Amino acid sequence: MSAASPLPRRPTGPLRIGEFEVQPASNELRGPAGTIRLRPLLMEVLLRLAAEPGAVVARERLIEDVWPRRMVNDEVLSRAIAELRTALGDDPRQPRYVETLPKAGYRLVAAVEPGGDGRSPARRRWLPALAASVVLGSAATVALLVTRTDPAAGLADQLAAAQPFTADLQLELGPRFSPDGSRVAFALGEGDEARVVVQPARGGARRLVGQAGAAHLSPVFFPDGRRLALWRGRGGECEIVEHDLDSGAERRLLDCELRPRPRFDLSPDGSRLVVSATAPGRVGLVIVDVASGARRALTTAKAGGDDDVDPRFSPDGARVAFFRGTASHRRLWTVAADDPAGARQASALEGLCYGAAWLGPRGPLLVASDWLGFRALTLLDLGTGEARLLGARGARYPDVSAAGDVAWESAVYRADLWLVDALQEGASPRLLWPSTRYTNMPAFSPDGARLAFVSNRDGFEALYVAPLSGEPARLPLPQAYRYIRPKWSPDGRSLYAVRIPVGRRPAAPQAVRIGLADARLEALEVLGAAVTAVIPSDDGRWLYAGVPEGEAMRILRAPADGSAPPERLPLPPVAEFHLGGANLVFTRPGERGATRCRLDGGACEPVAVALDDSLRFDWVVAGDALYYPTTAGGRRQLERFDLARGQVAWRRDFAPTATGLAVAASPDGSRLAVSRAEKPAIDLMIARAPRPFAGREE
């Protein structure tokens, strides 16, 4: 189809596509699972494909028809197609709706027919009309271009047109706009050395702040735009200082007594700091008066590794948003800046989180997280707790200017699995299936010949199985869920895992069993509505499940054949547990060491190992041994503790460094699978807000 050929007739009324009733006027898909509201851009992509059902629509033509007069690239289209597939519950490898034809385009393969209630929808253009900018907030006015039908759509389109702001070889971290939006301050460096850069938002010469030999991080402008608050660390010491950009003069605002973490915030009026302060065993938020240095606690995180981190003041300074939880399991909370007792959870969505920015004094919040399947920017409604995917894949730590520009860190993480000979000290590890993405949560098969693992190597977090000498294969499971914590059945024919629904509203994780021959998936409803871990016993008779209780878990046991309901084991709440041979080993929140229980009903006994909340997900049991990372002589090592003998058997220098469950041992203990993170690549991106305009044709 040439660029000059006529545009196919676009469906204007209700229609049926496969299992879905499509309502173009309201941007809704009504299907077996309920009503899904698409952002208008995705509805336009779907309707453009439905204009020629069964025909291949070239990528260039699809971009031209849906994004007229806009400079977008193939990546924008690919993201839109991926998001549309997620809404439809479609699998690109076995498509029921949208088929990809490499180097050709896309084809709608589902049946299309007229449908709905027959009422005429409101007249709409091919490209949804854009409304004028909506102003949110007071102290920090934020102008966002939105559509009349969906306030998030204009912001999503804005993010899709983002451009690199900087592309230095070093890491670029923590962008923050000046009060008038004309400049961006950020940290540039890596390791123990970084300087602050102040750079015009729309081009111009940059200036550097800070001396060599120290880490200068997290710059935040004071209201006058002439001073910065920044975190400085050198030789194990730290401080937060006020830096005058004109004179270079500095004043200490906070010393290192509280061990403040680098990600902090300054109130919009410049009178208060909010910092994540480290206390023994936990991290809570502290308010610091800038003038006097007086301090008061704002939050106190619960024991068990649940830190309160990444605080951000609302535009009016009345509230603070922050994340509570462990490194890989955080939720967003808010608290009134003058009412510590009023802290409340803003959403039950949980996962890896990387900062948030307010879009008004009452929200919504622009959140960087993997809540909806992969790390990106989402829009969180504080009233409903509902999150909506906007885009900017790979985003961390966003900020929004008074003019509506959005800046963020664009980070690419890499972690690979390595195979380690556990019996031969000094043996060279072997790299398994390298990719440019993140791979962790390994689990050996009962015969030690295969690994199951979790990876986003194909773009979406999924389960994979691979022989140690072959190539990995992704299990063809519905992408409406994330699948984590795989464990093999004793016969090697199935995997047990926890699946987490991917959607705007939170839903409970559930235990599932997956047949490897046919990918048949069975929900293990007998274990309950919310399960955070499921592990079969080595003899295959029992399933042990962790069910949430506050920030910990209770351990249940049920027959694997489902012949009886689960029973709760007479054990205290645990932070994490693993099975190996005849052993059940668990750790407790806020406590050091572990506890070993015999599965045959024997007594439980303490295990003197160097496990605490900081290593909550970094250990595993295989047979009569426990494996975990430790630090000795300044080096991170992997340690094997012999449970039968009650002593350390050996240490190896090749320790896991990835986030989450990052080590597995073969049943005989001869081989280890270790997930190790590589240096990330982090650049800054900026999405400039369209300026207000008038006279647009409807």
Which residue type sits at 530? A
* C-alpha to C-alpha distance for 419 and 417, rounded to whole angstroms: 7
Residues written for the chain? 698
Give me the phi and psi of 503, to 5 degrees please.
-170, 175
Place of tokens 């099975």: 579
Better-predicted residue by pLDDT, 126 or 685:
685
The answer to whether the beta carbons of residues 547 and 565 sit under 8 Å apart is no
Indicate if the pLDDT at residue 6 is higher than 70.
Answer: no
- List the one residue out of 63, 50, 6 whose CA is nearest residue 24: 50
Which residue type sits at 630? T
Whether residue 364 has a cis bond before it, omega within 30° of 0:
yes
431-457 pLDDT per residue, tens: 999 998 899 999 999 999 999 999 988
In this predicted structure, what is the pLDDT of residue 5?
46
Place of tokens 């303490």: 606
- List the one residue out of 443, 448, 446, 454 whose CA is nearest residue 421: 448
Strands (E), 191-259: 193-200, 207-209, 215-221, 227-234, 237-244, 250-254
pTM: 0.68
Here the tokens at position 673 are 């699978």
Give me the phi and psi of 131, to 5 degrees please.
-85, 175
What are the DSSP calls for 452-478, one per residue? EEEE-TTSS-EEEEEETTS--EE----
In this predicted structure, what is the pLDDT of residue 105?
87
For CA atoms 488, 489, 493, 498, give the dihedral sign: negative
160-205 pLDDT per residue, tens: 889 999 878 889 999 999 999 999 999 999 878 999 999 999 888 8
| Mean pLDDT value of segment 591-612 | 88
Indicate if the pLDDT at residue 93 is higher than 80.
Answer: no
489-506 pLDDT per residue, tens: 999 999 999 998 877 666
In this predicted structure, what is the pLDDT of residue 169?
85
Helix 59-66 vs helix 74-88: angle between axes, to the nearest 10 degrees?
90
User: In a 10 Å sphere around its CB, with 0-12 CB exposed, 13-18 middle and 19+ buried, how is residue 635 labelled?
Assistant: exposed
* C-alpha to C-alpha distance for 388 and 357, rounded to whole angstroms: 15
Neighbouring C-alpha atoms within 13 Å toward the C-beta of 608:
4
The answer to whether the beta carbons of residues 437 and 457 sit under 8 Å apart is yes
* C-alpha to C-alpha distance for 178 and 182, rounded to whole angstroms: 6
Indicate if the pLDDT at residue 128 is higher than 60.
Answer: no
Here the tokens at position 450 are 């295969």
Mean pLDDT (the chain, rounded): 85
369-413 pLDDT per residue, tens: 988 878 899 999 998 888 888 989 889 999 999 889 999 999 988
The answer to whether the beta carbons of residues 256 and 238 sit under 8 Å apart is yes
Structure confidence at residue 280 as a pLDDT band (50, 70, 90): low
User: In a 10 Å sphere around its CB, with 0-12 CB exposed, 13-18 middle and 19+ buried, how is residue 277 labelled?
Assistant: buried
In this predicted structure, what is the pLDDT of residue 512?
95
User: How many C-beta neighbours within 10 Å does residue 564 have?
Assistant: 10
Which DSSP helix (H) or strand (E) runs through 285?
strand 282-289
The answer to whether the beta carbons of residues 411 and 369 sit under 8 Å apart is no
* C-alpha to C-alpha distance for 18 and 98, rounded to whole angstroms: 11
Structure confidence at residue 696 as a pLDDT band (50, 70, 90): very low
| 361 DSSP assignment | B
The answer to whether the beta carbons of residues 670 and 423 sit under 8 Å apart is yes
| Mean pLDDT value of segment 614-629 | 90
Indicate if the pLDDT at residue 227 is higher than 70.
Answer: yes
504-554 pLDDT per residue, tens: 666 788 999 999 998 899 999 889 889 999 999 999 999 999 998 877 899
